[in-house]
Copies of this chain bind each other. A is one copy, B any other.
């Protein structure tokens, strides 16, 4: 698929197209990776991606990434890369908008067996 390529992508406009939380929506792809937008609020589940690094760029709100040994809190204009193999648990005290960049085959729940698993959807 090449949807979105060579068009300008307006992040705010894309956020206007969905309200679901914890469901990253695909807005572009490049080099086998998806660029996703997501609304996060509350706690996700701790999980690990064995083969994929993930970049979480915060656009609005506040994201705390709970790591095995510490928490890292990320605000607007900041990001964190969680390398493959590192357990992490995203937590947001209020609704937080992020841009998430990860390989196309990344499963949102990683190695966790969870009903919160969703398939990527283009918007």
Contacts and interface: CB of A to CB of B under 8 A. Distances in A.
Interface of A is mostly: strand
B77 A53 contact: no
Contacts of A35: 55, 79, 81
Interface stretch (A17-25, A38-46, A67-75, A115-123): A67-75
Interface residues of A, number: 39
Copies per complex of this chain: 2
Interface in A54-87: 54-55, 57, 59, 67, 72-74, 77-83, 86
A112 interface: no
A59 B77 CA distance: 9
Given A6-B67, A9-B78, A30-B81, 10 more contacts: A4-B81, A5-B81, A6-B82, A8-B73, A9-B81, A10-B77, A11-B77, A28-B55, A30-B53, A30-B55
